[in-house]
Chains A and B, each alone.
Chain A
Amino acid sequence: MRRLWRNKIAVAGLMILLVMVASATLAPAILPYNPNTADFDNVLHPPTLAHLFGTDQLGRDLLTRVVYGGRISLLIGVVAVALAAAVGVPLGLMSGYYGGILDLVIQRVMDVMLAFPGFLLALTLIALLGVGLTNVILSVGISSVPVYVRLIRGVTLSTRELTYVESARSIGLRDWRIMLRHVLPNTAAPIIVQSSLQIGLAILTAAGLGFLGLGVRPPTPEWGTMLGEAVNYLLSSWFIALFPGLAIFLAIMAFNLLGDGLRDAFDPRMKVL
């Protein structure tokens, strides 16, 4: 933990995140506007003192919508990644620990999922499930599962051969107990590092879906959805595209910085995907 604090990069990322979480949480207390209240006398107004980020096509305060948008994006990122880890970590543990047919089957399934490159998997899932907040979380979560399976399988494969795991096996401990008590702790550091990077990626994917009009439905203030709507007003009002995108950019950068910093603090040679 002390090594993390000495790492300026990680601290910078953590600070950005803290500010985002705090403002998203305290939004109603610190902002005078409601994110969904339209004001047709004040449509697409450039930034002023009253509206620091300007107003959107319905006269809603952009700063308010960007701050409230943080709630949605952070929620999607954290829940989707938690979901991916909850499914991917046990699969990776079993795949690496047991090997054989089980490993083969799990790995072939992961190969197929990974054959749908990056964003396409989430997009395909959305095409099947339909739009909306829950389905965005599900799509992004499912499409992040293979990363965890691969990561945990790798760590498990190298841990399985260590002497203390062998001795645990030789005194007759059950497999699930060895996996939980002796193998899983070794995967903690890579999981934490990967998850930080993965939350950033999840926020990006969800914003991409929103941008295409296939994510969280308007009027919910979601950064990607806001950008998608901004496209139509780009000629006259650059600011409504600037700020939601800047928020996505900062959030992803913060998670990338934190992830890089955490990795350096744990073990600079750690392999993440």
Chain B
Amino acid sequence: MTGGFVGFAIRRLLAAIPTVFGVTLIVFFMVRMLPGDPARLLAGLLATQDEVDRIRVQLGLTKPVPVQYALFIGGLLRGDLGKSTVTQAPVTYEIGVRLPATALLAATATILSVLFGVASGLIASTRQYTSTDYFVTVLALAGISIPVFWLGLMLMVVFAVGLHLLPAGGDTSPLALILPSIALAAFSLAIIERQTRSSMLETLRQDYVRTARAKGLAEGRVVYRHALRNSLIPVVTIVGLQFATLLGGAILTERTFSWPGVGTLLVNSIEARDYPIIQGVVLLFALTFLVINLVVDILYGYIDPRIKYS
């Protein structure tokens, strides 16, 4: 059993390698597909000819493309992603100082969406066709349709500008975290609610649940011990998939609340054509997402006994 599981995990890990390779290829070719001199693009518009030439040598831009790619991967493995063309600081530094803020926001939003998503889905499913169920269902529909940046702006107008209850953002204090994480959580929360509800409704119709009820178990015990645990298996997949939306949404949320994270850095760098930073952030987001998916995949194999490790 354990051996099978470890083998399963290793096979999943190996299967991700071609994707990681593809992602690095895309990021590598990003600046080389653009019109113009890649050395000039990577050195920045204000760089002197000397600096451009230095970058050209450093990246081996006169050498064949496979050699350039090898140099790029070599730098990557040493944690060298080049320098920002705006601040001249290393890309890893620029990203590193902003990463905690983004991680804090994404983690808070994930926790919020899982907790409240599962809870409201559970409530709606055990009260099917009641006004509570309809209320939650309508809210979830609104949640999947509302643009994260607009929700953010409206929360800001009401709670920061109107009621002066909470700060409108700009720093990462606990109070300033509240509005951005609610805005970011809303979509995922709604998706998780819908999945939990439909999954619970399906499980509650199963024979073994009827048996549990028939043998006189308390309804609470039937719901929590028998139905909920099995219903959560598809929810785990959804949570993993939602992380993609959440990362993308974080870029927009950060901009809305002037949150000093990696998303804001990315948007500013696109405006400033700071390509080394753009490459770094895009790579970071894609790899983070791949790792999360891998973990969810392996976790899924671990919690669902029906999955065969082959």
User: Do A and B actually bind?
Assistant: yes
A residues near B (Cβ < 8 Å) are: 108-109, 111-112, 114-120, 123-124, 126-128, 200, 204, 207-208, 211-214, 224, 227, 230-231, 234-235, 238, 241-242, 245-246, 248-249, 252-253, 256-257
B147 and A249 contact, CB distance less than 8 A: yes
Q: Which residues of B contact A248 (CB under 8 A)?
A: 147, 150
B252 within 8 Å of A by Cβ?
yes
A112-B23, A241-B150, A253-B141 are known; give 4 further A-B pairs, CB within 8 A.
A116-B286, A117-B285, A117-B286, A211-B252
B142 within 8 A of A: yes
Q: Within the assembled complex, what's the spacing in Å between the Cα atoms of A249 and B34?
A: 35
Assess the A207–B147 pair: CB atoms within 8 A: yes
Contact B150 A238 (CB under 8 A): no
Q: Which of B17-45 contact A (CB under 8 A)?
A: 18-19, 22-23, 25-26, 30, 33-34
> How far is it, in angstroms, between the C-alpha of A114 and the C-alpha of B245 when the chains are bound?
11
Can you list 6 A-B pairs, Cβ within 8 angstroms, ordered by A? A116-B282, A120-B251, A128-B33, A212-B251, A234-B153, A238-B161
Interface string of B230-274 (1 = CB under 8 A from A): 000000000000011101110110011000000000110011000
Contact of A111 with B157 in the complex, beta carbons under 8 Å? no
Q: Are B22 and A108 in contact (CB under 8 A)?
A: yes
Task: Choose one: A117, A119, A245, A257; the contact of B252 (CB below 8 Å).
Answer: A119
Alpha-carbon distance between A245 and B145 when the two chains are bound, in angstroms: 11
Instruction: Enumerate the 5 nearest inter-chain pairs by beta-carbon distance, A residue then B residue, closest first.
Output: A119-B248, A245-B150, A117-B244, A112-B22, A118-B248
Q: A108-B22, A123-B251 are in contact. Are A234 and B156 (CB under 8 A)?
A: yes
Residues on the B chain within 8 Å of A126, using CB? 270
User: Among the listed B153, B156, B245, B256, which residue makes an inter-chain contact with A117, where contact means beta carbons less than 8 Å apart?
Assistant: B245
Instruction: Answer whether A234 and B23 are a contact pair too, CB < 8 Å, given A126-B270, A214-B267, A249-B146.
Output: no
Determine whether B144 belongs to the interface, using a CB cutoff of 8 Å to chain A.
Answer: yes
Instruction: Tell me the residues in window 69-115 of chain B with beta carbons closer than 8 Å to chain A beta carbons.
Output: none
Q: How many residues does chain B have at the interface if contact means C-beta atoms less than 8 Å apart?
A: 44
B290 is an interface residue with CB less than 8 A from chain A: yes
B154 at the interface (CB under 8 A from A): yes
With known contacts A238-B161, A249-B147, A214–B270 Cβ distance under 8 A: yes
In the assembled complex, the Cα of A227 lies from the Cα of B270 at a distance in Å of 19
What residues on B are CB-neighbors of A111 within 8 Å? Answer: 18-19, 22
Contact (A256, B243) CB under 8 Å given A119-B249, A120-B285: no
In the complex, what distance in Å separates the CA atom of A130 from the CA atom of B278? 14
- Which of A208, A224, A241, A257 is in CB contact (< 8 Å) with B154? A241
Nearest CB of chain B from residue A112's CB, rounded to whole Å = 3
The answer to whether B147 touches A245 (Cβ under 8 A) is yes
Residues of B close to A227: CB separation below 8 A: 149-150, 153
Asked whether, in the complex, the Cβ of A120 is within 8 Å of the Cβ of B247, the reply is yes
Instruction: Judge if B5 is at the interface, Cβ distance under 8 Å.
Output: no
Closest Cβ–Cβ distance, residue B158 to chain A (whole Å): 9
List of B residues within 8 angstroms of A109 by Cβ: 22
Let me know if A127 and B270 touch, CB within 8 A. yes
How many Å lie between the Cα of A214 and that of B243 in the bound state? 23
What is the CB-to-nearest-CB distance from B14 to chain A, in angstroms, rounded to a whole number? 13
B116 proximal to A (CB < 8 A): no
CB proximity of A194 to chain B, nearest CB, Å? 15
Closest A residue by C-beta to B278: A127
On whether the beta carbons of B282 and A120 are closer than 8 Å, the reply is yes
With A118-B248, A123-B251: A108-B147 Cβ-Cβ less than 8 Å: no
Min C-beta distance of A253 to chain B, whole Å: 4
Docked-complex contact A108 and B19, CB < 8 angstroms: yes
B157 to chain A, nearest CB (A): 5
Shortest Cβ distance from A200 into B: residue: B145
Complex contact B247–A234 (CB within 8 A): no
Does B289 reach chain A (CB closer than 8 Å)?
Answer: yes
Alpha-carbon distance A256/B142, docked complex (angstroms): 10
Residue of B nearest to A235 (CB): B161
A123 cross-chain contacts in B, Cβ below 8 A: 248, 251, 266, 270
Q: Are A115 and B245 in contact (CB under 8 A)?
A: no
A235–B34 Cα distance when bound, in Å, is 40
Q: Interface 1/0s, chain B 281-300, versus A by CB < 8 A?
A: 01001100110000000000
Residues of A within 8 A of B156 (CB): 234
A84 and B270 alpha carbons, distance in the complex (Å): 25
* B120 CB, min distance to chain A CBs, angstroms: 18
Chain B residue numbers with a CB within 8 Å of A249 are 142, 145-147, 150
On whether the beta carbons of B141 and A211 are closer than 8 Å, the reply is no
A111, A124, A214, most chain B CB atoms within 10 A: A124
Minimum Cβ distance to chain A for residue B31 (Å): 9
Complex alpha-carbon distance, A230 and B256, angstroms: 11
CA distance A270 to B252 in the complex (A): 32
A118 proximity list for chain B (CB < 8 A)? 244-245, 247-249
Measured between beta carbons, the chain A residues less than 8 angstroms from B18 are 108, 111
CB contacts (< 8 Å) of B255 on chain A: these are: 211-212
Q: Is the CB of B147 within 8 A of A208?
A: yes
Rounded to whole angstroms, the CA-CA distance of A229 and B229 in the bound complex is 47
A181 to chain B, nearest CB (A): 34
